[in-house]
């Protein structure tokens, strides 16, 4: 049964906004000053100087559409507090008014996220809508990163959801349009470009009018890119813009290693180096020591081979290649979200200088699939829990500690129970229909059911315990997060004081990397899983 879903989303948005308002006084990172300074740059300087300014260390390094977004926010900021947009006088300016203004702009920008979410789910049955809305609206990752740490990820992910909703409906040109808009807001989303290209080429540009379709699609995408970068091409600044957008000198990993393949690679190098030194081998100490918490460069490895940006880019493409082959052979729009999710996991696992916050790029769109099957639901609970836990080091002040723990615990517990009930009810209805041919709803009871699929005449006696979302070993792994957190937060500071400050971060990174590496392999397998139509065609 399909029904109007706007009210379902609105009340969740209202509750989520109340939570965000409570987080206004919390800690905020240096990203707060970054975005304030970008407002000052775009409102104080002419367009041709935006990517040249070095008044602050926080130079503009996002694509032009995001710069124009900052310029739009500056229109309001100049009325609220003119010092906010003062290029020099506003440096490191942080008053209560400024903090409130920035917090509110993030909440307002989230309206794009809710628009994209509503558009994607508007044709879902009401039960599915509720689960997906809850998974996104109450995402602890978005709450921690955007509304405590401070960024605008929800706004950008909303544009991604608009693109995915159009692709899911077969509106390929609009899907390509929204994706190109997204990349011109934040270039890191471009990692899904190869998947988009192959899918649109095979799914859209076919038939007798393939050339006309290709021309319209290409013109649409190039028009967006031209509007964004055209002025800088005119001023002869594209080299400078690209240098800002792709600062490869920042190194392979961020100060806190994102839990990906390179985290495991760095740790292996560290362990091998320590073992060889114990054996008497004289090895050099890299300039950017891995336990120093500094942004390293590709020379930081001692035993394992040097890693360059080209190597990471090649690995990302190789990881995506099987998925692209699958799309080329069978470009189904019902599977496009799964493929896009997989591409962002590939970028996260093998990319250059990946931030832990980039986990939102695949966790949030993956939430759109949690009602597709029990397996997809299991994958989401596992990936979201590990990914969101890996964000804990972002909020390092003591007053935020109970907040992040409570957010993750309530979210994981609530989503798990919600999905368990949903799939339990669904299973009971299906079995009831197969047993007596009726479609009336099944009343749940507290006792466990005992029935056999081979029996025809029986009465469903249902309990949500019949559907187990998390297997034993996954439960064991997730429970392992508890000792990891206890050691990192309490035991290590007690034993080592201020020594080896990067060890707790490395432990969290490596442990989460193991879980996410498994999840990457699982998502690769999901990209090749046969659809229902394929299974039925084999049966018949």
Report yes or no: 196 and 337 within 8 Å, Cβ to Cβ.
no
Alpha carbon 262 to chain centroid, angstroms: 18
Average pLDDT score over residue span 1-14: 75
The pTM (predicted TM-score) of the whole model is: 0.89
Cα 201–207–213 angle (5° rounding)? 55
Q: Tell whether the model's pLDDT for residue 28 goes beyond 90.
A: no
Predicted confidence at residue 290, as pLDDT, reads 42
Predicted confidence at residue 220, as pLDDT, reads 97
Residue 407 makes CB contacts below 8 A (sequence gap 6+) with 140, 143, 144
Please name which of 112, 99, 80 lies closest in space to residue 13, comparing C-alpha atoms: 112
**pLDDT tier at 287, thresholds 50, 70, 90:** low
Q: Tell whether the model's pLDDT for residue 468 goes beyond 70.
A: no
Q: What CA–CA distance (Å, rounded) separates 191 from 207?
A: 28
Average pLDDT score over residue span 385-405: 93
Q: Tell whether the model's pLDDT for residue 297 goes beyond 80.
A: no
- Measured in degrees and rounded to the nearest 5, phi and psi for residue 290 equal -70, -20
Q: What is the pLDDT of residues 237-276, one digit of tens each?
A: 999 999 999 988 778 888 788 999 999 999 999 899 889 9
Q: What CA–CA distance (Å, rounded) separates 356 from 207?
A: 42
Cα 501–505–510 angle (5° rounding)? 140
Average pLDDT score over residue span 437-460: 38
**pLDDT tier at 192, thresholds 50, 70, 90:** very high
In this predicted structure, which of 71-85, 231-245, 272-286, 433-447 has the lowest mean pLDDT? 433-447
Q: Tell whether the model's pLDDT for residue 344 goes beyond 90.
A: yes
Q: Tell whether the model's pLDDT for residue 444 goes beyond 50.
A: no
Q: Tell whether the model's pLDDT for residue 456 goes beyond 80.
A: no
Q: What CA–CA distance (Å, rounded) separates 226 from 485?
A: 48
Q: What is the pLDDT of residues 66-77, one digit of tens each?
A: 999 999 999 999
Q: Tell whether the model's pLDDT for residue 319 goes beyond 60.
A: yes
Average pLDDT score over residue span 494-516: 90
Report yes or no: 392 and 140 within 8 Å, Cβ to Cβ.
no
Residues in the chain: 540
Average pLDDT score over residue span 42-55: 94
Give me the numbers of helices (H) and strands (E) for the chain, helices first please: 22, 0
Average pLDDT score over residue span 132-145: 96
Select the highest-mean-pLDDT range: 2-6, 472-476, 481-485: 481-485
**pLDDT tier at 455, thresholds 50, 70, 90:** very low
In this predicted structure, which of 366-375, 419-428, 473-482 has the lowest mean pLDDT? 419-428
Predicted confidence at residue 237, as pLDDT, reads 92
């Amino acid at each position: 049964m399909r029904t109007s879903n706007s009210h379902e989303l609105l009340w969740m948005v209202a509750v989520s906004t109340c939570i965000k308002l409570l987080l206004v006084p919390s800690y905020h990172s240096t990203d707060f000053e970054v975005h304030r300074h970008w407002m000052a740059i775009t409102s104080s300087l002419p367009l041709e100087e935006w990517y040249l300014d070095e008044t602050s260390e926080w130079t503009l390094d996002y694509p032009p559409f995001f710069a124009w977004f900052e310029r739009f926010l500056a229109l309001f900021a100049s009325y609220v507090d003119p010092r906010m947009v003062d290029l020099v006088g506003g440096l490191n300016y942080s008053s209560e008014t400024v903090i409130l203004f920035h917090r509110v702009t993030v909440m307002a920008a989230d309206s794009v996220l809710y628009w994209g979410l509503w558009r994607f789910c508007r044709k879902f049955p009401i039960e599915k809508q509720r689960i997906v809305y809850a998974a996104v609206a109450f995402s602890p990752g978005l709450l921690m990163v955007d509304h405590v740490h401070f960024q605008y990820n929800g706004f950008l992910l909303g544009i991604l959801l608009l693109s995915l909703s159009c692709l899911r409906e077969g509106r390929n040109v609009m899907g390509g349009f929204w994706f190109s808009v997204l990349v011109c807001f934040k270039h890191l989303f471009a990692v899904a470009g190869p998947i988009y290209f192959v899918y649109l080429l095979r799914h859209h540009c076919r038939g007798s009018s393939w050339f006309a379709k290709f021309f319209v699609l290409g013109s649409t995408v190039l028009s967006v890119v031209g509007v964004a970068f055209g002025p800088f091409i005119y001023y002869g600044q594209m080299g400078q813009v690209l240098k800002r957008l792709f600062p490869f000198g920042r190194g392979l990993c961020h100060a806190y290693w994102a839990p990906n393949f390179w985290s495991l690679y760095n740790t292996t190098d560290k362990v091998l180096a320590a073992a060889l030194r114990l054996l008497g081998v004289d090895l050099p100490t890299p300039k950017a020591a891995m336990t120093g918490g500094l942004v390293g460069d590709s020379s930081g490895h001692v035993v394992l081979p040097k890693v360059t940006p080209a190597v990471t880019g090649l690995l990302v493409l190789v990881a995506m290649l099987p998925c692209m082959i699958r799309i080329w052979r069978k470009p189904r729009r019902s599977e496009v979200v799964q493929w896009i999710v997989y591409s962002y996991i590939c970028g996260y696992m093998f990319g250059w200088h990946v931030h832990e916050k980039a986990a939102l790029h695949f966790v949030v769109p993956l939430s759109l699939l949690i009602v597709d099957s029990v397996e997809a639901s299991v994958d989401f609970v596992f990936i979201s829990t590990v990914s969101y836990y890996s964000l804990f080091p972002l909020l390092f002040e003591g007053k935020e500690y109970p907040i992040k723990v409570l957010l993750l615990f309530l979210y994981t517990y609530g989503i798990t129970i919600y999905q368990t009930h949903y799939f339990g009810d669904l299973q009971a209805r299906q079995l009831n229909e197969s047993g007596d041919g009726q479609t009336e709803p099944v009343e749940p009871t507290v006792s466990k059911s005992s029935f056999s699929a081979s029996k025809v005449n029986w009465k469903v006696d249902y309990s949500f315990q019949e559907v187990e979302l998390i297997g034993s070993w996954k439960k064991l792994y997730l429970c392992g997060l508890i000792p990891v957190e206890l050691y990192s937060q309490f035991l290590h500071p007690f034993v080592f004081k201020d020594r080896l400050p990067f060890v707790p971060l490395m432990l969290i990174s490596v442990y989460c990397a193991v879980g996410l590496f498994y999840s990457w392999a699982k998502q690769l397998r999901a990209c090749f899983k046969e659809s229902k139509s394929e299974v039925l065609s084999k049966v018949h």
